[in-house]
Amino acid sequence: MSRNYKFHNPEGLYFVSFQVVEGLDVFIRNEYKDILLQSFSFCQKEKLMEIIAWCIMTNHFHLTKKAAAKSSNVKEHQFWRHDNKPVELWSNVVIWEE
């Protein structure tokens, strides 16, 4: 995730969307969806991240989650685009907009 986009409220509920670089349709294969779901499970168990809802599309996914882990900078390879912006869902108005 870009350094410009941070989870500023650690107690907040956020909507996030992650898209694959160049819009590649990687999640049409079940084995890749399974890896993503295993990652969700790991974050829930090990990082204590609450996932309220999720939706996996062919080249991206959406999450509504509470708490966020630190991200690292890309060293060699990049899978996710870095222009994802977490939106804090602080009111019903914001929730209905997303």
Q: What residues make up the domain containing 20? A: 13-69+79-97
pLDDT for the residue numbered 69? 45
pLDDT for the residue numbered 72? 53
Encoded amino acid at 74, one letter: V
In a domain, 47, yes or no: yes
In a domain, 20, yes or no: yes
Q: pLDDT band for position 29 (50/70/90)? A: very high
Residue 4 pLDDT > 90: no
pLDDT for the residue numbered 9? 81
In a domain, 89, yes or no: yes
Q: pLDDT band for position 88 (50/70/90)? A: confident
In a domain, 7, yes or no: no
Q: pLDDT band for position 77 (50/70/90)? A: low
What is this structure's pTM?
0.67
Structural domain count, the chain: 1
In a domain, 46, yes or no: yes
In a domain, 2, yes or no: no
In a domain, 65, yes or no: yes
